Chain A
């Protein structure tokens, strides 16, 4: 790992200032960035550790929204009674990320900013229609994710919070790749307050996270596992690697969606 300066500001404005410097990069929980630095795939000159900023941490309910601070760890979300009451799918999702030690460090902001095609949070953000709040603006999830490891975040922009609309029901069904512990193909299903159903899929798409319109339409008019049978999920656009073929992933999308429907009915 190349060396860099390390700073750990305690308030957001100091962090944003530090991130304006040339070659500065934010550090969340480091559970992705530290392995990347070890492989010398990134070479920041300054690392700005966000973990000392209390205002980025925490979970609160604001009317019909659940707001999770950008520096909140997966472990804190998994253990939160407020999250369990409002969006149980987020407890299922976070309690299955990696292992307890990864969850004690990794953060929602880091996970979304990284947009790993096999990461879990992007499926929830997209399915629930979350709003990603940064130090500069608010971004709708559908505009935020821009393909593999790509987002619309600008250099030095910090995710300060994520606002999730509270759905009528939600669940996350993860099919794990046992070696990496990431998703091979997983589905976040949300039944919104207006009755519409939204299906976010991660791990499967060659371009990263996506919503499946066919499944959403079928389930919005008939919320049953058998409605899933009638939908054809194409292997086109699914990723292909040594763990699974596109056809296998396409089939998993249906299997995991069925399990999701069964889990909330």
Chain B
């Protein structure tokens, strides 16, 4: 066991990790941040997507120790400061982008990374960008709509700020 430290959702945290502790285990078991889900544990489903140093990764396929000293954002970090839903989360609610909600944390984290790199994606780019996220419920249509609507809201906010 070693003590590792990282910034998670803007807060400095530390905890115990073995060599083989996965980032998702550290988040869920050590830090009790259970919003990040484990769907497959085989790098296929994307329910576990978080951001490490600003890039989306599958936290079931990254070791916690590899993130020692780094910065991690999870779904718990996506709400507004006052606790209301963030733009992408709200878009999922508005567009009925979830049914059981199991895949949603990973979807939101992947979309956030996608929109950072490509603020105005086409539908094809959205579907391509969500290739690593599997949803067993929705059939994806409303998830794509949520991504489009979040992109539009964020673009509007950016314009208003100018």
Contact = CB atoms under 8 A, between A and B. Distances in A.
A101 interface: yes
Interface string B54-73: 01111001110110100000
Interface stretch (A1-9, A161-169, A215-223, A252-260): A1-9
B101 interface: no
Query: 6 nearest interchain CB pairs?
Result: A99-B132, A6-B19, A99-B131, A6-B65, A104-B55, A4-B19
B95 interface: no
Contacts of B113: 100
Interface string A97-112: 0111110110000000
Contact of B61 (A2, A5, A30): A30
Nearest to B22: A34
B37 to A, nearest CB: 14
Interface string B66-106: 10100000000000000000000000000000000000000
Given A3-B20, A99-B131, A99-B132, A8 B66 contact: yes
A106 to B, nearest CB: 10
B122 interface: no
A35 interface: yes
A31 B132 CA distance: 13
Given A2-B20, A101-B56, A35 B42 contact: yes
Contacts of A37: 20
A122 interface: no
Interface in A1-29: 1-6, 8, 27
A38 B19 contact: no
Interface of A: 1-6, 8, 27, 30-31, 34-35, 37-38, 47, 49, 51, 75, 98-102, 104-105, 181
A98 B20 CA distance: 24
Contact of A4 (B20, B42, B55): B20
Given A3-B19, A100-B114, A8 B132 contact: no
Interface of B: 2, 18-20, 22, 41-43, 46, 49, 55-58, 61-63, 65-66, 68, 110, 113-114, 129, 131-133
Contacts of A98: 131-132
Contacts of A27: 63, 66
A8 B65 contact: yes
Given A2-B20, A30-B63, A181 B55 contact: no
Contacts of B129: 100
Contacts of A30: 61-63, 66
A101 B19 contact: no
Q: Which one of B49, B61, B62 has the greatest number of beta carbons of chain A within 10 Å?
A: B61
18 contacts: A3-B18, A6-B66, A27-B63, A30-B62, A30-B63, A31-B61, A34-B43, A37-B20, A47-B19, A49-B65, A75-B55, A98-B132, A99-B132, A99-B133, A100-B131, A101-B49, A101-B132, A105-B61
A93 B49 CA distance: 23
B58 A101 contact: yes
A32 B92 CA distance: 32
A101 to B, nearest CB: 5
Contacts of B65: 6, 8, 49
A1 B19 CA distance: 10
B62 A38 contact: no
B57 A101 contact: yes
Contact of B66 (A4, A5, A49, A104): A49
Contacts of B110: 100-101
Contact of B43 (A47, A100, A102): A102
A1 B20 contact: yes
Most A CB contacts (10 A, CB to CB) among B57, B65, B129 go to: B57
Given A31-B61, A99-B46, A100-B114, A51 B20 contact: no
- Output the residue of A30, A31, A37, A181 with the most chain B CB within 10 A: A30
Contacts of B133: 99
